[in-house]
Structure formats: C-alpha cells, structure tokens
Structure 1
C-alpha cells in the first residue's frame, strides 16, 4: 500500500472550509477511507515515517482534535506556497498528540528519563528541534470514529476485521521501515495490540516500553501522582498509588538500561 497519500488529498485539503467542520460527522466525505457499520475511518496526513527514529510514541488513533489541527496546518502550508512534502511533514508535527495530551505526554516521558536517554533537555524538543529522534504514530494511523465519536478501544482492534486490517496495512508496514527503535504504547489497549503484533513477529517484544499512564486529560489524577504533583493522601480510591510507584520505578530502570 502506498505510504504517502498526501498528494491524492492535497486539493481537497486546500478547498476545506475548516470553520464549518466542528465534529467528526462534519468531515467531508472526500476524506472517508472506509466504513463498517458504526465504525468509520478518515484520512489524516500522518503517513510520514521517520525511518531513523530512536523512539516511537504509539497512540490508539488520532481523534477529531488531531484531525482538525493537522488539516489546519496542512492547509496553511499549502496556501502559503509550501511544497506538498513540506506541508505533509508540518501537518504531522503539528497535529500529532496535539491538545492537552501533548503536554502531559512530554512531562511523563521526562519523568521516566527519556529526555536523558535521548540526550535532550526536555521531550518537548521531540515536537520541534529534535523531531528527527521520534516517530509519532498510532496503532490505527487514520482517525477511527464510532457513531461519530472518537474510538476508544471498543470493539477490540484485534478481533474486529475492519480495524485489524488497518493495523496490518499501516502500522505493520510502518514498523517494518524502522531501525529497531523503542516503542512506547500509550494505554492498555495499545499495549495489548502491540503484544499481539510482537507475537506475529511484526515488532520485537523486548523493545516495547509499556506501562506509562495514558496522557489523556481524563487520566489527570494518575498523571498528577506519577509526576509528583499530588500527594498519596489526597488521592481518590480510584487511583492505586502503589501500582503507579512500581510502574514508575520499573520504567525508570528500563530507560536507564537503554542509556
């Protein structure tokens, strides 16, 4: 399957009236890649692969916020006269993990020492001056929506043919182009799917650095404790402090061993 679809969609991106697109249901049909019952998937310019990346950040799928941010940047670049290749890369750099998720992700990565391993001051540089070190991606590369809402892992990616086919068509091919990087899955659903891919021989299970709390704003309390911003005594019963302490210690040791 062709990796770069940007040229195919460039004219549609130029013509987008982004002010009228306020949710997934209003994404023009030009960008629809496939549909199966309540599930749909739409093109996003995230097909650039940084083959020299040392670390791969793997989400579940871009959401509507990421889709719109990427399209805003791609359109801006194209209308300003940038080449399609430059617009393609800029759109991914701007849209990937955009929103509150990105700041949380940066802080979590720094907390376990990824910045030290990579030799950078802070992991925010992965989205700017040191983007050559990272591949930002998702198990489901193109946004998947269910009934028009962001897909969150149900139904199962592995057991749903429509979703499994996307994983094999995009993520598996992407992984094959990389030079033995460290994969950091974000969330249990992604971790489960990457374990399955390791069983299939797609990726090396020893290069999966799993256990990092999901950077979603919905995970705010666990993130705050993991980052040392909230005391154990102030936690709700929903947050398991001992489990997070163990995860953090384990991840720090694993990252240190990479150095």
Structure 2
C-alpha cells in the first residue's frame, strides 16, 4: 500500500488544512464514487470493544486535517498523528461523539469492558480498550455525498469492495477473539454480519446495532426512549424507521444482559465428586 500518510502530511505542511481540502489525497475515483485519504491506520490490538461505522463523513475529513495540522506544528511523528486521528477524529466532533457517548452509557456498555463511563473510552488510557473501525476507512462519497448505501451496493462496486476486504475484513483477525462489536447504522451492522458468515467473527461477539449518532433529527432521541412515537411529528422520517430502531434497542439490551449474566459467577455450589 502506498504511504499515504507522508503525502497527506506534506500537503498540509505546504498549504495547511485548507489547502488539503482543496487538493485531497485521492485513493480512487470514478464517475460516481471517490475515496479520499484520512489517517486511519492506528489500531489497538488489545481492544475489547470495536465500534464500527460505514465511512468518515465530510466533517471528519475537515477535522482530521485540522488535528493533523495542529500535531505537525508540535513535530509529532506519524504514529502519533495516526493515533490522535483515531482518538479525536474518528467517531468524533460535536455532531457525532456526544450522541455516541449517550447511547453507550444508556446501555451501560463501558461496564462490560471495565470502564466507568463512555467519556473515559476516549481518554489517553481508556482509548486502548476500544477500536473505532470503518467498513470504508477512506472517506468515501457517492456523487459528492458521504456514502450511506447498503452493503450490497458496496459489494457490487469493485473499488469499494476491494477496500472493504483489505482494510476491514482482513484486519479483523488482529483483534482479540473475545472482543465485542457494535455496528453504527444498518450498513455497518450488515458488514459485521457478513464477517460472521465469512468465519472472521463469532455471532456471540456482535453486541448489537445502534443508529448513526448524528445530532440532526430525532432518531437518537427516539432510540434512547427520550421521545415516544406519539411525540414525533407526522412528517418525521423516523416514523419509517421505528421497526428497526425498536428491534435494535431490544437486541442491544439483550446482548448487554447476556454478557452481564455471563460475567456473574454462578451462585450454585460446585458438587464434589468421589
């Protein structure tokens, strides 16, 4: 694989974060899709929780350039830049991180990996226990908009399928066999189910699915039971997603309870055998 991080940093040194926005590092493109590099390579090979999204959005592309420019000014080495982009940028920003933290705390997920709360997962020390991961880690667009198509579309597009295989599926064996996985959105969840069918993950490792944690709209608020169906306006698009949101909530609850029960020692006395 080409050393994209060097070219990425070189462009920021020459033109700053704004210059990179005008001339991004292109991984691949055709008449419909484009893939732009963002630093994503860092992985926590002892991660106990893997949080899977579909692809970085425009906000994350801009945030990555800003964070990288800041780090370059402190003479940070490449590995540090990659780690900080994972920690501060991927699943980060005001539009995503707050709702993600609320959802993780709602289901008390951090307790499953011995962390006090979701905020601590992105602290310097707590971050080693999680791994943000994307099906398409290069920022992928479809006709200029962030790719949000179904997994079938991804698999039917050779450029996207190759990256999905190389940068997602092929990396899964790096993580512990007892790591837990959460999918953000239906495409990410489908990607995890695909990995199970391919024998790369066990079904028991899939904790559940949560909606993409954007601040726009009422989907996360409905998912967290902060508003009821009756509270939604007649034209709210969340009304068309209620069935899968309810199913996802039930599955997350069941997954967390299953793991919590497994972690509690049996109260039954062990029988002695002659």
TM superposition score normalised by structure 1: 0.87
1:232, distance to aligned residue in structure 2 (A)? 4.3
Residue 222 (structure 1) aligned with residue 219 (structure 2): yes
Does the aligned pair in 1 maintain the 2:196–2:203 contact within 8 Å?
A: yes
1:242, distance to aligned residue in structure 2 (A)? 7.0
1:244, distance to aligned residue in structure 2 (A)? 4.3
Structure 2: where are the runs of 5+ without partners?
A: 261-274
The range that moved more, 90-99 or 54-63, is 90-99
Structure 1: where are the runs of 5+ without partners?
A: none
Cα-to-partner distance string for 1:134-174 (whole Å, 9 max, x where unaligned): 10011001100122221111671122111110101101222
CA RMSD of aligned residues (A): 2.3
Aligned-partner SS, 1:58: strand
Measured in 1, the distance between the counterparts of 2:207 and 2:31 equals 34
State the partner residue of 2:128: 132
Question: Aligned to 1:93, which of 78, 87, 105?
Answer: 87
CA 221–7 in structure 1, closer or farther in 2 if over 3 Å, else same: same
State the partner residue of 2:13: 14
CA 246–201 in structure 1, closer or farther in 2 if over 3 Å, else same: closer
Residue 109 (structure 1) aligned with residue 109 (structure 2): no
The range that moved more, 8-17 or 174-183, is 8-17
Does the aligned pair in 1 maintain the 2:16–2:69 contact within 8 Å?
A: no
Residue 251 (structure 1) aligned with residue 252 (structure 2): yes
State the partner residue of 1:120: 115
Does the aligned pair in 1 maintain the 2:11–2:19 contact within 8 Å?
A: no
Map 1:53-68 → 2, pairs under 5 A: 53-68=47-62
Measured in 2, the distance between the counterparts of 1:36 and 1:242 equals 36
Aligned-partner SS, 1:41: strand
Does the aligned pair in 2 maintain the 1:70–1:92 contact within 8 Å?
A: no
Measured in 2, the distance between the counterparts of 1:148 and 1:119 equals 41
Measured in 1, the distance between the counterparts of 2:159 and 2:242 equals 37
1:203, distance to aligned residue in structure 2 (A)? 2.4
State the partner residue of 1:170: 167
CA 137–101 in structure 1, closer or farther in 2 if over 3 Å, else same: same
1:36, distance to aligned residue in structure 2 (A)? 2.4
Does the aligned pair in 1 maintain the 2:50–2:132 contact within 8 Å?
A: yes
Aligned-partner SS, 2:29: strand
Measured in 2, the distance between the counterparts of 1:135 and 1:127 equals 10
Measured in 2, the distance between the counterparts of 1:151 and 1:87 equals 25
Larger radius of gyration: 2
Residue 187 (structure 1) aligned with residue 185 (structure 2): yes
Aligned-partner SS, 2:181: strand
Map 1:64-79 → 2, pairs under 5 A: 64-79=58-73
1:18, distance to aligned residue in structure 2 (A)? 2.2
